Amino acid sequence: MKLAPVMFVAPTVPMALCAAVAFTVDMGTSMASLMSLPIRRYAKIRGAVMSLNTVGVNVGMIGRATIAIIGLGLYGYGGLSMILATMAAGGVATLLLTQRAFDDTVETAAGSAVAA
């Protein structure tokens, strides 16, 4: 869950600070876990892989912040919370679908290795 939009539009300073801390912890753990596999797999082009990942993160953050600010402007904090909940649900759905596809791939690979 990326909390950048909450950090920028929080109604109170303590909420903004809590969102900033949560965002920093989340980004640190996700970057460490997400980048280890591509760097190991594509060691020769790790600079390009890291650059593309950074661009994707930045574009995604700007896009999500823009959507959140539009929701806040049009519908207030209730609209903002609905938009953030929708983005979080989309992230969870993507995670579950990816995990399911990965599990199916691993089972298929294991099944073909046993059959061979």
pTM attached to this predicted model: 0.55
Per-residue pLDDT tens digits for 56-89: 888 888 888 888 888 888 998 888 888 888 988 9
d(CA 113, CA 101): 18
Amino acid 46 reads R
For 22-42, the pLDDT digits (tens) are 888 887 887 777 777 777 888
Q: Give the residue numbers spanning the domain of 57.
A: 4-115
- Chain centroid to Cα 32, Å, comes to 13
Per-residue H/E/C for 2-54 = CCHHHHHHCCCHHHHHHHHHHHHHHHHHHHHHHHHHHHHHCHHHHHHHHHHHH
Domain count, the chain: 1
Looking at residue 108, its pLDDT comes to: 62
| Dist. CA 4–CA 65, nearest whole Å | 7
Helix, strand, coil percentages (3-state) for the chain, rounded to 5, are 95, 0, 5
